[in-house]
Homo-oligomer: A and B are copies of this chain.
Amino acid sequence: MAQPQSIFIAVIGVGGVGKAFVTQVQHLQPRLRKANPPLDLRLILVRRSKQQISSPKYDNLDLSKVLDELSSSKDSLPPLKESLEYLTKAPGRAVLVDNTSDPELASTYPDMLAKGISIVTPNKKAFSDDLSLWQKIFSSAANGTGSPKSGYVFHESTVGAGLPVLSTLKELVETGDEVMKIEGVFSGTMSFLFNSFMPVGGGGGKFSAEVKKAKELGYTEPDPRDDLNGLDVARKLTILARLAGLEVQSPTAFLVESLIPKELESCSSGDEFLDKLPGFDGQMDELKSSAAKEGKVVRFVGSIDVPSKAVKVGLEKFDASHPIAALKGSDNIINFYTKRYGSNPLIIQGAGAGADVTAMGVTGDLLKVAALLRQN
């Protein structure tokens, strides 16, 4: 057997995704310790908004207890900067697992990568905010144009959660295919809303009622306007467009249709918004019946036309036989139209939200980093 190799891991953010990630790593550890060479994925720091636990001597924290210990910890939270510095001093290669949606943490990526720390994350902010941050990240990363001693960065779960969306797009581009168009349903919330509001074959409730139902089932953000404004989809489209080679400045640099009626933009709370939304059901019903007359259904989609550099987020009509129309539940679907694949797109479909599948994308990225850092 070859010498064991250790990778030091810091997890920031232990909400639903962070917790699922820790559980997945816990299940992985025994198998990886038996690999050749043995791989020791060593958790050394766990941090959330008000608490942190770290291992002073870079020993492995006990994953079966660490989340409980974190909840009961009364220690004061050290500044983020100090925790990151602790990570850069780990006695071996280290990975920062950012399970937050914190733009401040995202802004530290270029510096961390340059210091040799790898990053795996479902945090969309880092990759969809201003283009300059994207460029700094990839010019600092070993899997960008940075030094081979830099860290690697992977962010599969920023689009479609654990679905292999970004890895597939990267492979199409890297092997020299020409991506013509990317089109799909990129939000579990929007998928659920429109599959319920206007199912293929007729039926479905009032739009405002479907929004309320989606909120009750936990399919929306606490304030449903954060889904209905289209910004989440716009961030995902920004990431895909950049990977396809377009220099998209920000998620507000292209047409994004909001489903929040103008008159309700000024509502002071999500509850007030939900109370007033039924007053606008007429508009949505009109849309529904006009689509039905053409034998179509309405869906909230994003699309990128690569040659014309057109990025678009909003409502579109689709034939009942179109794969986008036939989507079920809160599934995502992503269609890649490319030169090699011709008229029938390469399609990826499945759950695009949820703690377990999002964490799976993060864990998968961690395993990719571990394989790349392994000494041959």
Contact = CB atoms under 8 A, between A and B. Distances in A.
A372 interface: yes
Interface string A346-376: 1111110010110010011001000111111
Interface in A209-245: none
A342 interface: yes
Contact of A163 (B177, B346, B349, B360): B346
Nearest to A35: B145
B328 A148 contact: no
A83 to B, nearest CB: 24
Given A175-B364, A347-B349, A326 B329 contact: no
A176 B31 CA distance: 10
Contacts of A364: 171, 174-175
B372 A376 contact: yes
A147 B350 contact: no
Contact of A175 (B24, B329, B375): B24
Given A2-B148, A36-B145, A375-B148, A340 B175 contact: no
A49 B164 CA distance: 37
B350 A331 contact: no
A343 B143 CA distance: 36
Grouping DSSP codes into helix (H, G, I), strand (E, B) and loop, the A interface class, with mixed when no group exceeds half, is: loop
A372 B375 contact: no
A283 to B, nearest CB: 30
A331 B360 contact: no
Interface residues on A, range: 35 or more
Contact of A348 (B343, B347, B356, B360): B347
Nearest to A347: B349
A167 interface: yes
Nearest to A330: B344
A164 B175 CA distance: 13
A302 to B, nearest CB: 19
B164 A171 contact: yes
A341 B349 contact: no
Contacts of A376: 142, 148-149, 372-373, 375
A323 interface: yes
A187 to B, nearest CB: 15
Nearest to A340: B356
Contacts of A168: 164
B323 A326 contact: yes
Nearest to A172: B360
Interface string A166-194: 01100110111100000000000000000
A27 interface: yes
Contacts of A35: 145
B360 A350 contact: no
A371 B148 CA distance: 11
Contacts of A328: 344
Nearest to A349: B347
Interface string A1-42: 010000000000000000000001001100000011100000
9 contacts: A162-B175, A162-B340, A163-B346, A164-B348, A171-B360, A175-B364, A344-B350, A372-B374, A373-B376
Closest 6 A/B residue pairs (Cβ): A346-B350, A347-B349, A175-B363, A27-B176, A171-B364, A340-B356
